[in-house]
């Protein structure tokens, strides 16, 4: 069985090479063209926020009459949905405005989590809600304090991550290939 798995993985070594090349190219583009990367990220973030808003709306409507805090999910869902639609309609939004919107989203989520922990959570997970709430509030305030810098740092971290993971994946691909031979 182990021999079959090793043979199967060895036959796919080239797929790991393709993934590593894509990661390295993405990392280089992200590091050398952060503006282009941020414009693309605005679109991806818009889709994420719309989906997140729809999930919150669904949860809020499902919890109506069953939970006291159902309205918080509805409120978060409406605000997130509005933000996602705005971002989808304005993909060329500036880096600073995008960072401010991310900060607003983090802050909103942090406040909602803190309120759930403070007023509504009776399941023994209050500490979880307090921690995620505090982290969201802190991250939101830091992003608001340094919007352009936080967006640029984010792209650099993303680019460096892609370069490192791409190099490690290439090394893994070559190791798999040598094992299969």
142-174 confidence digits (pLDDT tens): 888 888 777 778 788 778 888 888 898 888 788
Cα–Cα distances in Å, from 110 out to 84, 107, 134, 140?
18, 5, 6, 8
d(CA 168, CA 174): 10
Report field, pTM of the whole predicted structure over 0.75: no
Taking the CA atoms of residue 44, residue 48, residue 50 and residue 52 in that order, the dihedral angle to the nearest 10 degrees is -170
Say if residues 46 and 91 touch (Cβ distance below 8 Å): yes
Which of 150, 165, 163 lies closest to 41, judged by CA? 150
Please state, in angstroms and rounded to a whole number, the distance separating the CA atoms of residues 121 and 127.
Answer: 10
**Mean pLDDT for the chain?**
81
Residue ranges making up the domain that contains 152: 2-180
- Number of structural domains (the chain) is 1
CB 55 within 8 A of CB 77: yes
User: Which residues in the chain land under pLDDT 50?
Assistant: 1-2, 5
pLDDT digits (tens, 9 = 90+) for 127-147: 888 888 898 898 888 888 888
DSSP code of residue 119: I
């Amino acid at each position: 069985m182990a021999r079959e798995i090793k043979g199967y993985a060895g036959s796919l070594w080239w797929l790991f090479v393709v993934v590593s090349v894509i990661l390295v190219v993405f990392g280089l583009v992200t590091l050398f063209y952060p503006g282009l990367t941020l414009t693309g990220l605005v679109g991806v973030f818009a889709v994420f926020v719309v989906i997140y808003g729809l999930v919150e709306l669904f949860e809020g409507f499902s919890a109506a009459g069953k939970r006291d805090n159902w309205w918080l999910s509805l409120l978060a869902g409406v605000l997130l949905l509005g933000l996602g639609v705005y971002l989808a309609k304005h993909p060329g939004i500036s880096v600073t405005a995008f960072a401010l919107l991310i900060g607003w989203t983090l802050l909103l989520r942090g406040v909602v989590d803190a309120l759930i922990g403070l007023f509504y959570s009776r399941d023994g997970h209050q500490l979880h809600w307090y921690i995620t709430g505090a982290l969201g509030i802190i991250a939101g305030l830091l992003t608001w304090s340094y919007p352009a810098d936080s967006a640029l740092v984010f792209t650099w971290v993303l680019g460096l991550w892609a370069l490192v993971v791409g190099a490690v994946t290439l090394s893994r691909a070559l190791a798999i290939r040598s094992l299969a031979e």
